[in-house]
């Protein structure tokens, strides 16, 4: 496939690039600073672009079979609201160039009901995280809302606590519930996103993903 990766230098984005290339796909990586993505491959094109600007994203996305975004909230007080702002930019650019499939990274606490999650995660840690990181999760909820209001074929992947452990290539996932575990390596989130690109059961749904 032809894949466009946004946030390609981030913790999940760099794994998206690596997995996609290993799978044999062609990748266009959108980055603010190409020097931060020191990967060279004949199926990789690195483009300097602003993921918060639709006009900047159009040439990155044009011709892609799918867009995968590793962009999330940078911090509790980030005025740019990168998750929701990048979703609006991507949706506008995709509509302009006729691309429909997008996958984004959200977070397990967006499953406010806690269905399919361990008891402590759902009833104790989830509410505590919302209290401490409300601005972060509000931005992610706005991101999901932007996609839900669009006519795109979107999937929001909701992992629990992310780690930098080596990926195993194995993960659990469930549509509109979970995640079942409490941690997951960033590499395995990227693996799940790529596996879900063609999974029509995940279209226009949130998917819990964990180890």
**Model confidence over 173-210: pLDDT tens digits?**
999 999 999 999 999 999 999 999 999 999 999 999 99
Tell me the pLDDT band of 76, cut-offs 50, 70 and 90: low
Residues 47-73: tens digit of each pLDDT: 999 999 999 999 999 999 999 999 976
Distance, in Å, from the CA atom of 74 to the CA atom of 50, rounded to the nearest integer, reads 15
Q: Please name which of 99, 102, 96, 199 lies closest in space to residue 154, comparing C-alpha atoms.
A: 102
Give the pLDDT confidence score for residue 79 in this predicted structure: 59
pLDDT above 70: residue 82:
yes
Give the pLDDT confidence score for residue 168 in this predicted structure: 96
Distance, in Å, from the CA atom of 34 to the CA atom of 72, rounded to the nearest integer, reads 19
Distance, in Å, from the CA atom of 192 to the CA atom of 97, rounded to the nearest integer, reads 26
SS3 22: helix
Handedness of CA 184, 190, 193, 194 (dihedral sign): negative
């Amino acid at each position: 496939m032809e894949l466009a990766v946004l946030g390609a230098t981030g913790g999940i984005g760099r794994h998206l690039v690596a997995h996609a290339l290993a799978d044999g796909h062609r990748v266009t990586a959108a980055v603010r600073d190409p020097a931060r993505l020191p990967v060279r491959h004949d199926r990789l094109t690195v483009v300097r672009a602003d993921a918060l600007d639709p006009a900047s994203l159009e040439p990155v996305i044009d011709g892609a079979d799918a867009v995968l975004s590793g962009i999330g909230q940078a911090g509790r007080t980030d005025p740019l609201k990168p998750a929701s702002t990048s979703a609006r930019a991507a949706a506008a650019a995709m509509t302009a160039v006729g691309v429909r499939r997008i996958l984004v990274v959200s977070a397990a606490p967006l499953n406010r009901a806690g269905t399919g999650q361990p008891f402590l995660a759902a009833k104790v840690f989830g509410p505590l995280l919302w209290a401490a990181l409300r601005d972060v999760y509000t931005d992610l909820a706005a991101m999901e809302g932007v996609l839900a209001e669009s006519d795109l074929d979107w999937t929001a992947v909701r992992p629990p606590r992310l780690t930098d452990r080596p990926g195993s290539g194995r993960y659990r996932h469930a549509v509109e519930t979970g995640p079942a575990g409490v941690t997951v390596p960033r590499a395995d989130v990227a693996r799940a996103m790529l596996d879900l690109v063609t999974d029509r059961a995940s279209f226009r749904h949130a998917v819990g993903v964990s180890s």
